[in-house]
Amino acid sequence: MMKKLVAEFIGTFWLVLGGCGSAVLAAAFPDVGIGLLGVSLAFGLTVVTMAYAVGHISGCHLNPAVTIGLWSGGRFPISEVLPYILSQVLGGIAGAYVLYIIASGQAGFDLAGGLASNGYGEHSPGGYTMVSGFITEFVMTFMFLIVILGATHKLATPSMAGLAIGLALVLIHLISIPVTNTSVNPARSTGPAVLVGDWALAQLWLFWLAPLLGAFVAGIVYRWLSPDDD
């Protein structure tokens, strides 16, 4: 169990450092900024790389919503849910802290910029409302779990699961970065929010509630949809 939890910590650390790091350090870098497409790819690549690095150890959840969705879908034991979520949150905070150390090495860096935190209203990249943000996070997480549950099904092709899941996360970011800066992952949201504080912590509830609900419902739906699941 300890090895599983350490794998989840490392994987979530990498997701936050790689995904949020691309947004903070490279998205708008002069002349060669990677932009929205680059940030979307970075988040997807963190999942793809970790799927093949630690997937055989812990299942590579890297996300409390994924853990909840797999549990509600009958693929994960309830006894391991809380330890997994705690490891993921700690990994996300550690990733955000290392990103902060790196970013603060540049003159003029200010945490008020958000450290790629998720938000709605005035803190949404496109100025979208709380309702738009909630619907977006719910639906995107729902679809993410449908892909995960399908790609990892015993009748699917296991060797391709990491790629399918990573590409799904790329697509989700391409759709929803303008709305909420894309969470679909409470651990990813918690890491930067803990360091930024203020509005990021005040709005963090949405980036726990909506993804967890979306994942829970997806698990139930996919369990019904797939008659081969016990």
Q: Could you tell me if residue 208 is inside a domain?
A: yes
More confident residue, 112 or 183: 183
Q: Could you tell me if residue 94 is inside a domain?
A: yes
* Angstrom distances, CA of residue 62 to CA of 29, 45, 164, 187: 28, 13, 16, 8
Confidence grade of residue 208 (pLDDT, cut at 50, 70, 90): very high
Could you tell me the CATH number of the domain that includes residue 135?
Answer: 1.20.1080.10
* Angstrom distances, CA of residue 205 to CA of 51, 81, 89, 187, 209: 28, 19, 14, 12, 6
Confidence check: pLDDT of 174 > 90 = yes
User: Which two three-digit tokens encode residue 213?
Assistant: 């609900």
CB of 138 closer than 8 Å to CB of 210: yes
Q: Could you tell me if residue 115 is inside a domain?
A: yes
Closest CA to 91 of 189, 156, 186, 10: 10
pLDDT in tens, 189-201: 999 999 999 999 9
Q: Could you tell me if residue 230 is inside a domain?
A: no
Q: Where are the beta strands (DSSP E) in the chain?
A: none
Domain span at residue 136 reads 2-225
pLDDT of amino acid 125: 92
Number of domains within the chain: 1
pLDDT in tens, 67-117: 999 999 999 999 999 999 999 999 999 999 999 999 988 888 888 778 999
Helix, strand or coil, per DSSP, at residue 118: coil
Distance, CA of 135 to CA of 122 (rounded, Å): 17
Provide the sign of the torsion angle of the four alpha carbons 109, 110, 111, 116, taken in this order: negative
pLDDT in tens, 45-76: 999 999 999 999 999 999 999 999 999 999 99
pTM of the model: 0.93
